[in-house]
Chain A
Amino acid sequence: MASENRPDPDALLRAAAQEGRGRLKVFLGAAPGVGKTWEMLSDGSQRKRAGVDVVVGIVETHGRTETEALTQGHEIVPRRKIDYQGRQLTEMDIDAVLERRPQLVLVDELAHTNAPESRHPKRYQDVEELLDAGIDVYSTINIQHIESLNDIVASFTHVRVRETVPDRILENAEIEVVDIPPDELIERLKQGKVYVPHEATRALTHFFSKSNLSALRELALRRAAQAVDAQMLDYVRQHALAGNWAGGDRVVVAVSELPGADRLVRAGKRLADALHAPWTVVHVETPRDRLFDEEDRKRLADALNLANQLGGMVASVPAASVVGGLKSYAQEVRATQLIVGKSARSRWFEFRHGSVVDRLVRESSEIAIHVLPVGSDALRKTHSQTRSSWSWGTRSAYGSTLLMVATVTVAASALFHILNLGNVALLYLLPVMVSSSLFGLRPGLFAGILSSLAYNFFFLPPTGTLSVNNPENVISIVVLLGVAFVTSQFASRVRDQAELAGSSARQNAALAGFLRQLTATGNDEELMQVICAEIARLFGVRTALLVPSIDGPLLRAATPPENSLDAIEMAAAQWAMDKNQPTGRGSDTLTASDWLFYPMRTASKVVAVIGLARDDGGDPIRSDQIPLLMSLLDQAALVLERMQLEDEMRDIAQLKERDRLRAALLSSVSHDLRTPLTSILGVAQELRTVASPAMVETLEGEAQRLNRFVANLLDMARVEAGVIKLKLEPVDLTDAVASAVHDTRKSLAGHDIILNVPPNFPLVRVDVQLFHHCLINLLDNAGRYADPGSPITVMAERNMGELVLSILDEGPGLPPGRERDVFETFIRIEGSDRSKGGTGLGLAIVKGFAEAMGLSVDAANRGDPRGARFNIRFPEALLVREPDQEQIE
């Protein structure tokens, strides 16, 4: 296939996003005390010696003298002091670093949690901001702080750290492992060379055991190897090298509300990374979900959000049973790897409900199933699937039941003379079945007990008492109760099924209706309104939609209409846009905002963010609504992107057409005007031999002038049409000036040209053609206005931070106060004789071209001798550093 070797657009996009961004290098250690900070500082010193502008953002030396000594050579940005509840805390001053704008900043302890009221809760977020600002960052981290490895480390060290850094931070970073053998580290620990926070001393002996350290070390090395792998893979995809990387795998992680779902998600991420496969976290919504309490919901939402954050997809599948739903979903997405948790449920529970895992293994043979233990929390209540039918029922249910039993009793007494005893028992089945199918188990049992009591009291001999003579009649009572139990079970299951189908249908209907509404809109204005209105209606919230623009997020639609949002909401929207993650109330970032912003993204970019808020100020969205919201936003993002693309395509097509016409017009005008001029000039030259020399000279001179006007006219048209394409390259001013003087020799005839451009001045980076036109016009102008026979000087000088090239004439000069105006189009300054023979275009072209190249021009009057001086100024950035003689040879 032709497309096989085409670069993967996603990989190219990632690379493009990296450009202009600072680069992150992380010094990764297996444990505290391996010397990460020391390594970072000495690397930093090395870069500094190599001429890089390095500062220390924050470094904890923990009083170690070797480390302290290394910081001495660095410029340290003073820390920001924060008073928090009477304590003085210090943090890195991110604004000071941004203002200082070094090329490289050293930031210790990437996983650090900032003091409250800092801009970002986490230091890695500070680092991201620095990277975004184009500053390179060196930082340090221990292996157990990496999000996806957190569980593994905790599983063998039994020490769990709370401060974690998401894996995506490390994905584009260069990773250097700082490694020392475990024995050496233990030795250093014994010598007191390792800083350990006071509260951790208890766990210390265990943590620093040799086996732990070896395992940690292996983990660190493996993670670094994986980073290299991922970067390599990206490279391969970008360049579409025909390589063989694992293909076709797809990881699906099934999560439930049980504790430990987050571990499953992290395991999924690790497996997906190892296989380089896409991965999805799925939650199967069974009727049982209705019984979740707030804690369950939160755990589930956290797991889904974590998946989102780690880069996985999220799905929610309504189904009657976990196994069925999971199986059909796995087939649908062609999963090859399935990760499920096995909960520590009682044997009794498994006996009654069967193990999900066993059934999955039995029923799906194509998929590799990974089973991880979860829900080790032994005290956790184990919901039975049938709990719903245990509900107590309402008071009216019992009332109705009582009424039914009473009615049956009255009817049976009335008919007793034609019925036998067994038929009366059958009659009592009626209220039991009706009650249990309508109201559930408990009212059903109530009906059963009531019926059997009534049956016993009124009909079973001896009547009028509650004693039973005949054992057969005991069976009747048991049957009544049994029927109540069984019926209520079936009835509740049927009710559940119906409700499930309803909920699934509602979701599908919501999605379908949403899509229908979206596709019915004609322009993006309308589309955004519809998105806001529909989301607001479906979730009962206020909504606002913002799109990215050069000036930050732009509010485009809201329900109910809003004119503007507060600064903090705008900041949250911006954050959601930039970081592509939920931001604001109920998320991890900028939680002070009343709104929660979700990015609306497609494969390539964030097209908009949508804000949700509740009037009562509560969390805008319930966890069980997240999957539906995600699907809706995905759909909306796609439609929005398509509409934006269509608009862009239309604009581009129009622009292209206009540019094409313009370019065609210019080149044809250029050709058409010059061809006759060429003939006229040529003929004039030929005529010299036959006609009167004076006449021929006039003819030639005028034709030359016409040629110059035409050139200027065309140049001006190019400037104003904006079709100038710059081709900057290093140019020797000597060459540029010599060429310009050569080309204007005819109009400068009679003037001495004094060249004073030192040959050792730096080369300048300009577009040769445009610069040539600038010089020609300035020289031409000087030639036209200088006193006859006076010299014209071209000189270059170095001033502070710039190089100035000046053209000086001797003559009437410029009218005082009008020095600026001379560069305006069609201004030929009156009041002096500076109006002869020009179109007034020449100097405007000089200005247009110069500014297009980043140069500036100005004009002034000279004192002695009188005359005008025109300056072209080259800023330092356009001067080319002289290459070494060594490099050249």
Chain B
Amino acid sequence: MSTLARVLIVDDEPHIRRLLKTTLARASYDIVEAETAREALERLSETKPDVVLLDLGLPDRDGLELVPIIKKQTTATLLVVSARDATDQKVAALDLGADDYVTKPFDSEELLARVRTALRHRMHVQGAQSSIVAGDVEIDLVNRRVLKGGNDVHLTPKEFGIVAELAKFPGRVITHQQLLSAVWPNDYERHIEYLRVVIRNIRQKIETDVSRPAIIVNELGIGYRLRGNES
């Protein structure tokens, strides 16, 4: 990494901020802090961070409202860090434009991995990856092919659609809604069972142990994540 990536931490709890700071400093990121929503927006325009870690429970404003504002003002990658365990809050944040989420209490290793993934997506944002490797599976987005152990895997159009959608942002969670509207754009109802069945079919074709999915992993009540080798 040529320049030090900058991370903005928005949280009203000093302990949590200190913890995040220690964890991130270990991976040598440049850290900026904010305690309130107002302060966060000020720091945002002053310091132009690459990644924002946003707590949803802020004293002066609901963090959810901040999500679209931050996405509009900057190109920073936005990770929601929240103690709220209600999935609909996370889904709302993601659908509003947040790039990923981490639930408190978090595993510091996992947090660092998410920040790394986020930064990688930022670098790839201009020229998207044409090929993703996950375990012994290779997904070739240009030629619309999927290989497992070097052999062609036959996928139906919908199956490939889902794989491609996940492969655009390997390591990042894609919500059910995002997947459904990308692959079934004309269905007005949320046919989540279609999605489940298609995912199950894909797994049978590419996963080594279907009962322990390692490539397409489920995010409880939120969506799916493609775990590539780099993520």
CA distance A732 to B85 in the complex (A): 21
Contact code string A701-714 (vs B, CB < 8 Å = 1, else 0): 00000010001000
In the complex, number of A-B residue pairs with CB atoms less than 8 Å apart = 112
Closest to A759 in B: B210
Q: How far is the CA of A602 from the CA of B5 in the complex (A)?
A: 69
8 Å CB contact of B87 from A683, A757, A769: A769
Q: Which residue of B lies closest to A755 (CB)?
A: B211
Residue A515 CB within 8 A of the other chain: no
**In the complex, per-residue mask of A741-752: 1 if CB is within 8 Å of any chain B CB, else 0:** 100000000000
Q: Which residues from A are CB-within-8-Å of B15?
A: 675-676, 678-679
The answer on a CB contact under 8 Å between A888 and B106 is: no
Quote the shortest CB–CB distance from A688 to chain B (angstroms).
10
Instruction: Say if the beta carbon of B45 comes within 8 Å of chain A.
Output: no
Closest residue of A by beta carbon distance from B219? A739
Q: In the complex, what's the smallest C-beta–C-beta distance from A264 to chain B, in angstroms?
A: 51
Of chain B, the residue at the smallest CB distance from A682 is B19
Contact assessment for B192 and A734 in the assembled complex, using a CB-CB cutoff below 8 Å:
no
Decide if A763 touches B16 in the complex (CB within 8 Å). no
- Given A671-B83, A732-B199, A769-B87, the answer on whether A887 and B19 have CB atoms closer than 8 Å is no
| Inter-chain contact B158/A888, CB cutoff 8 Å | yes
In the complex, how many angstroms separate the beta carbon of B92 from the nearest chain A beta carbon? Answer: 13
B203 contacts chain A at the CB level, 8 A cutoff: yes
The verdict on B104 contacting chain A, using a C-beta distance below 8 Å, is yes
Q: Which of A707, A711, A883 contacts B193 (CB 8 A)?
A: A883
- The 8 Å CB contact of B213, one of A674, A707, A731, A734, is A734
A615 within 8 A of B: no
Nearest-neighbor residue (CB-CB) of B199 within chain A:
A732
**B218 with A739: CB separation less than 8 A:** yes
Contact status B108-A686, CB under 8 Å: yes
Task: Find out whether the CB atom of A732 lies under 8 angstroms from the CB atom of B221.
Answer: no
Q: How far is the CB of A758 from chain B (nearest CB, A)?
A: 9
List chain B residues, Cβ under 8 A from A667.
84
Q: Which chain B residues lie closer than 8 Å to A737 at the CB level?
A: 211
Chain A, Cβ-Cβ closest to B111: A682
Which residue among A667, A678, A757, A769 has the maximum number of chain B CB atoms within 10 Å of its CB? A678
Say yes or no: A882-B197 contact (C-beta < 8 A), given A675-B16, A682-B23, A889-B158.
yes
Query: How many angstroms between the C-alpha atoms of A730 and B198 in the bound complex?
Result: 13
- Contact of B193 with A730 in the complex, beta carbons under 8 Å: yes
Instruction: Name which of A735, A736, A768 has the most chain B CB atoms within 10 A of its CB.
Output: A735
Pair B105/A678 contact, Cβ less than 8 Å: yes
> Does the CB pair B83–A670 fall under 8 Å?
yes
| B200 sits at the interface (CB 8 A) | yes
Closest to A794 in B: B211
Complex Cα distance A686/B192, Å?
40
Q: For residue B88, which residues in chain A have a CB less than 8 angstroms away from its CB?
A: 727
B194 touches A887 (CB 8 A): yes
- Among A736, A768, A888, the most chain B Cβ lie within 10 Å of the Cβ of A888
Please encode chain B, from 1 to 31, with 1 for each CB lying within 8 Å of some chain A CB and 0 for all others. 0000000000001011011101100100000
> How many residues in A have their beta carbons less than 8 Å from beta carbons of B?
42
**Do B213 and A729 touch across chains, with their CB atoms under 8 A apart?**
no
Closest Cβ–Cβ distance, residue A779 to chain B (whole Å): 14
Indicate whether A674 sits within 8 Å of B193 (C-beta atoms), given known contacts A686-B22, A734-B200, A734-B210: no
Q: Contact check, A769 vs B210: say whether CB atoms are below 8 A apart.
A: no
Q: Are B220 and A739 in contact (CB under 8 A)?
A: yes
Does A169 interact with chain B (Cβ within 8 Å)? Answer: no
Q: Does A603 contact B (CB under 8 A)?
A: no
Contact yes or no, A671 B105, CB < 8 A: no
User: Are A675 and B191 in contact, with the CB atoms below 8 A?
Assistant: no
Q: Name the residue in A675, A683, A736, A883 with the highest tally of chain B Cβ atoms < 10 Å from its Cβ.
A: A675
B221 interface neighbour in A675, A685, A759, A768, Cβ under 8 Å = A768
Q: Cβ of B171 < 8 Å from any Cβ of A?
A: no
Other-chain residue from B107, B194, B203, B217 in contact with A759 (beta carbon distance below 8 A): B203
A738: chain B residues within 8 A (beta carbon): 211-213, 217-218
Chain B residue contacts of A670, Cβ below 8 A: 83, 85
Shortest beta-carbon distance from A663 to chain B in Å: 11
The answer on a CB contact under 8 Å between A888 and B198 is yes
A772: Cβ under 8 A from any B Cβ? yes
Contact with B along A863-885 (1 / 0, CB 8 A): 00000000000000000101100
A739 to B221, CA, bound (A): 11
What's the Cα separation between A887 and B26 when bound, in Å? 51
CB neighbours (8 Å) of A889 from chain B are 156-158
17 more CB-based (< 8 A) A-B contacts, given A727-B88, A883-B197: A674-B83, A674-B105, A675-B16, A675-B83, A677-B105, A679-B15, A683-B19, A727-B221, A738-B211, A738-B213, A739-B220, A741-B212, A769-B86, A880-B193, A883-B193, A888-B198, A889-B158
Chain A positions within 8 Å of B, measured between CB atoms, are 667, 670-671, 674-679, 681-683, 685-686, 707, 711, 727, 729-732, 734-739, 741, 755-757, 759, 763, 768-769, 772, 880, 882-883, 887-889
Query: Would you give 24 A-B contacts (Cβ < 8 Å), ordered by A?
Result: A670-B83, A670-B85, A675-B83, A678-B105, A682-B22, A682-B105, A685-B107, A685-B109, A727-B221, A729-B192, A732-B196, A732-B199, A734-B203, A734-B211, A737-B211, A738-B217, A739-B218, A741-B212, A755-B211, A763-B197, A772-B221, A888-B197, A889-B157, A889-B158
Interface residues of B (CB under 8 A from A): 13, 15-16, 18-20, 22-23, 26, 57, 83-88, 104-109, 156-158, 191-194, 196-200, 203-204, 210-213, 217-218, 220-221
Which 9 A-B pairs have CB atoms at the shortest separation, nearest pair first? A768-B221, A735-B218, A682-B19, A730-B193, A678-B105, A679-B15, A755-B211, A678-B104, A674-B83
